[in-house]
Amino acid sequence: QEYTCIKIKITEFAPEAQGYLKQKNFDFASNEIFLVAATLRPETMYGQTCCFVSKKIDYGIFEAAQGQFYICTERAFKNMSFQGLTPQRGYYKPVVQINGSVLIGSKITAPLAAEKELRILPMDTILPNKGTGVVTCVPSDSPDDYINTRDLAHKSEYYGIKKEWVIEDFVALIRTEKYGDKCAEYLVNELKIKSPKDAVQLAKAKELAYKEGFYNGIMIYGKFTGEKVENAKRLVRDQMLEENTAFVYNEPEGVVMSRSG
Ligand code: ZZB
């Protein structure tokens, strides 16, 4: 599986994370630290509204270049270290480990996103052994992201977050005849999905959204407005690769657990 990894810059760590990192003697002030999110939909990056981590996952902070650090699972950084994406082949020891829960509430800025200041928020259904364990949230086109966003807004207290951290008002990116301009919202309603835990229905919604978007979708936002999604995918990816806000990451075969399969 070939993913595009998006570099999402942390602009202000949450107070708890700051305390933790200070205690670990990690100098977050004079380094650049990025959450690395693996996506199959680079053309949707305009619509990012937050970045999800899991409270059940221990992430690592890894040195990726001089003065640059990545936050992702050790498993993902290990793979990167064998793909020429890191300073030293086969070296993947984190400088610090950090649980997802500690990162929640931190401020971030994501490449191409229409919204300039986003937050790190929790998602319980992130799979630890897929991608980087970090998931960028695009509620216009990902049913999982749409329903998780709605749940976070409705139950902010339960999740231990501030309601104003949840961006519920988002731009439309892709138009299809079948599902309109916000396919995730359409499909969540159509399939009567009520919770992020409706795994079977969500897998179905995801597949429908992928198919319709890819074969019949037209961009209605950003530099490639009017372009078919099929083409925009590559154009947006190449732009981010050129700007060094993303890189290509390959997931080795046979170790990926899919929610649907
Ligand atoms: C942004 C995005 C926008 C995504 C969209 C999807 C959609 P797949 O097809 O099963 O391989 N993802 C990445 N890593 C994880 C993880 N560890 N656990 C749970 N979800 C993860 O799924 C790949 C997609 O699932 C990735 O692409 C990422 O979300 C998420 F409009 O990134 B995507 C119809 C889907 N639309």
Distance CA 195, CA 186 (A): 15
Residue 209 CB–ligand 1 contact under 6 Å: yes
CATH value of 2-245 in 3.90.740.10, 1.25.40.10, 1.10.10.60, 3.40.50.2300? 3.90.740.10
Strand partners, 233: none
Nearest ligand 1 atom to the CA of 144 is 35
The token duo for 187 is 């499909």
The beta-strand segments (E) located in 149-251 are: 174-175, 218-219, 246-250
- Nearest-5° Cα angle at 58, 55 to 60: 135
Distance CA 166, CA 145 (A): 12
**pLDDT on residue 216:** 97
**pLDDT on residue 261:** 34
Q: What is the pLDDT along the chain (261 residues), one digit of tens a residue?
A: 999 999 999 999 999 999 999 999 999 999 999 999 999 999 999 999 999 999 999 999 999 999 999 999 999 999 999 999 999 999 999 999 999 999 999 999 999 999 999 999 999 999 999 999 999 999 999 999 999 999 999 999 999 999 999 999 999 999 999 999 999 999 999 999 999 999 999 999 999 999 999 999 999 999 999 999 999 999 999 999 999 999 999 998 765 554 443
**pLDDT on residue 260:** 42
CA 124 to chain centre: 13
**pLDDT on residue 255:** 53
Nearest ligand 1 atom to the CA of 138 is 3
Alpha-carbon dihedral sign for residues 242, 108, 35, 17 = positive
Strand partners, 218: 175, 228
Q: Mutation test of ligand 1: which of 40, 54, 121, 200 has the most ligand atoms closer than 8 Å to its C-beta?
A: 40
3-state SS record for 63-121: EEECCEEEEECHHHHHHHHCCCCCCCCCCCCCCEEEEHHHHCCCEEECCCCCCCCEEEE
3-state SS record for 23-54: HCCCCCCCCEEEEEEEECCHHHHHHCCEEEEC
Distance 135 CA to ligand 1 centre (A): 7
The token duo for 50 is 């937050």
For this complex, say whether ipTM is above 0.90.
Answer: yes
**pLDDT on residue 253:** 78
Q: How far is CA 97 from CA 59, 215, 249, in A?
A: 6, 41, 22
The token duo for 14 is 């949450």
Domain boundaries, the chain: 2-245
Tell me 176's DSSP state: B
Distance 39 CA to ligand 1 centre (A): 6
